[in-house]
């Protein structure tokens, strides 16, 4: 059974909430249903599950009055063996994007407060024009992702003590012993191609076979195509697929900024912007914006027209390149700009799953590019990513010009410190 960090966040919500439902957002097949069901069965006397995707008839529960007693009455009519134990029942509304009225009803269920309610899904289909209202103030939102690298390490047999031991090298800024360093690099390369989708990780654990894991990824990608057909309008379907499948080409450029002309020759924002937003709402990608100046707060200096696009699961990204590329990544024989873009996405994957809000910086003269920036204690911290060891001219220039308190350089080599520049093995991104 895969251990997930979000389980403890669910427990914290249960113990601290007050007239508040929980909404968990994220892409499909990342393990939302499994972990919430496990939580419900282990911490409540009664657990009631409604999946609007599998059972469209459940939408009828939320027609008419949305007062809590009426909803409970209709649940008892539609859901076999539904039992209500006051302050000891969890109602789980899964794939809530298929029932906008259920999203609106969260306010009334929260005010009633007799039973705990968790909803999950992506933002697909939740067009605000279709919703009577949004339950602002009555829902706590959590974003969930596929397994992060630390959770992947646990799955691969590295217990928390082993990860903690590695963290001690990070805390002490001490070189990692060569054998241990190579072991974690090898695990990181496995994560590059297996990624964190639970079904893929379980397949790899059961079979110890990279090709089987890759085949499972292709199956997930096919199911995503079905989601596009299910939720997107006919004119949008091709545009969404074209944007998503262009990402390997976007990241294979020297400058990985998203360009609409890479999607198609006549591509432009007017034609494809809504398709990109659809993928963001689906939880399949995230955007990382350039800033005009690397000052705190970064969001005040974002350039909305300049952004990079990263896939939210590194394994699904590398599957888009094909199995031969995945195999080359594991063997560490891949070279060229494509490798750099993949490692950028890898670090983005590792940091975004830790809750980081990331930007990047490329100046107007195109003489300086820093892969990632984040705000900390009123300062802007730069992160440079190198798929192999190499010079860091942009980072050195950034340090000289903007004098951040410290900076990170993530490489495949070992740990080292020079003045305010901290060089870390790529796998230590989980400790930032």
The CA distance from 136 to 186, in Å, is 45
Tokens (6 digits) for 81: 């063996």
| DSSP run (H or E) holding 116 | strand 116-121
Stated pTM of the model: 0.94
Q: Which residues, in sequence order, are CB contacts of 26 under 8 Å at separation 6+?
A: 32, 120, 122, 143, 144, 145, 283
How many C-beta neighbours within 10 Å does residue 226 have? 10
DSSP 403: -
Report the pLDDT value the prediction gives residue 134, as an integer from 0 to 100: 67
Give the pLDDT confidence score for residue 128 in this predicted structure: 38
For each of the domains in the chain, give its residue range(s) and CATH number, in order of start.
6-143 (3.40.50.300), 149-431 (no CATH)
Tokens 């020759």 belong to which residue? 265
* CA dist list (Å): 224 to 68, 228, 405: 34, 6, 43
Give the burial class of 62: count Cβ atoms within 10 A of its Cβ; 0-12 exposed, 13-18 middle, 19 or more buried. Answer: buried
CB neighbour class for 206 (10 Å; exposed up to 12, middle 13-18, buried from 19):
exposed
The torsion angle over the Cα atoms of residues 211, 212, 218 and 224, rounded to 10 degrees, is -150
Task: Count CB atoms within 10 A of the CB of residue 254.
Answer: 9
Question: What does the longest C-alpha to C-alpha distance in the chain come to?
Answer: 68
First and final C-alpha spacing in the chain: 27
d(CA 278, CA 131): 17
Tokens matching residue 275: 């398709």
Give 178-198 pLDDT, tens digit per residue: 999 999 999 999 999 999 999
Q: 210-231 and 198-207 are packed helices; what angle lies between their axes, rounded to 10 degrees?
A: 160
Residues contacting 353, CB < 8 A, separation 6+? 145, 148, 149, 196
Upstream peptide bond of 297 is cis (omega within 30 degrees of 0): yes
Q: What is the pLDDT of residue 1?
A: 83
Which residue ranges in the chain fall short of pLDDT 70? 125-134, 390-391
The neighbouring-strand residues paired with 411 are: 425
């Amino acid at each position: 059974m895969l251990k997930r960090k979000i389980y403890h966040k669910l427990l914290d919500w249960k113990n601290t909430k007050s007239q508040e439902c929980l909404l968990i957002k994220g892409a499909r097949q990342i393990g939302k249903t499994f972990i919430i069901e496990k939580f419900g069965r282990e911490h409540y006397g009664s657990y009631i599950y409604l999946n609007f995707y599998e059972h469209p008839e459940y939408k009828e529960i939320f027609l008419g009055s949305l007062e809590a007693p009426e909803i409970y009455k209709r649940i008892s009519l539609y859901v076999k063996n539904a039992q209500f134990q006051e302050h000891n029942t969890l109602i789980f509304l899964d794939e809530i994007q298929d029932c906008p009225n259920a999203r609106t009803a969260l306010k009334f269920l929260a005010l009633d407060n007799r039973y705990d309610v968790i909803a999950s899904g992506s933002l697909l289909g939740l067009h605000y024009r279709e919703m009577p209202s949004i339950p602002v103030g009555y829902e706590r939102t959590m974003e969930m992702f596929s397994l992060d690298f630390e959770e992947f390490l646990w799955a691969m047999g590295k217990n928390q003590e082993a990860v903690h031991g590695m963290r001690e090298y990070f805390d002490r800024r001490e070189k990692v012993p060569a054998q241990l360093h190579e072991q974690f690099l090898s695990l990181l390369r496995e994560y590059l191609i297996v990624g964190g989708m639970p079904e893929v990780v379980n397949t790899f654990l059961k079979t110890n076979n990279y090709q089987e894991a890759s085949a499972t990824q292709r199956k997930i990608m096919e199911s995503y195509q079905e989601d596009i057909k299910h939720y997107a309008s006919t004119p949008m379907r091709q545009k969404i697929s074209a944007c998503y499948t262009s990402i390997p080409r976007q990241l294979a450029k020297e400058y990985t900024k998203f360009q609409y002309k890479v999607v198609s020759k006549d591509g432009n924002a007017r034609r494809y912007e809504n398709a990109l937003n659809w993928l963001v709402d689906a939880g399949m990608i995230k955007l990382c914006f350039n800033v005009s100046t690397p000052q705190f707060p970064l969001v005040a200096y974002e350039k909305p027209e300049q952004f990079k696009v990263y896939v939210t699961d590194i394994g699904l990204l590398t599957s888009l390149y094909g199995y031969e590329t995945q195999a080359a990544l594991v063997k560490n024989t891949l070279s060229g700009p494509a490798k750099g873009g993949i490692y950028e996405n890898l670090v983005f994957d590792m940091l975004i799953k830790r809750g980081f809000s990331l930007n990047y910086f490329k100046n107007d003269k195109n003489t300086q590019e820093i892969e990632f920036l984040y705000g900390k204690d009123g300062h802007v911290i730069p992160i440079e990513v190198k798929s192999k060891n190499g010079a860091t001219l942009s980072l050195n220039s950034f340090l000289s010009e903007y004098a951040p308190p410290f900076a990170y350089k993530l490489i495949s080599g070992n740990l080292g410190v020079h003045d305010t520049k901290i060089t870390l093995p790529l796998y230590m991104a989980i400790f930032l």
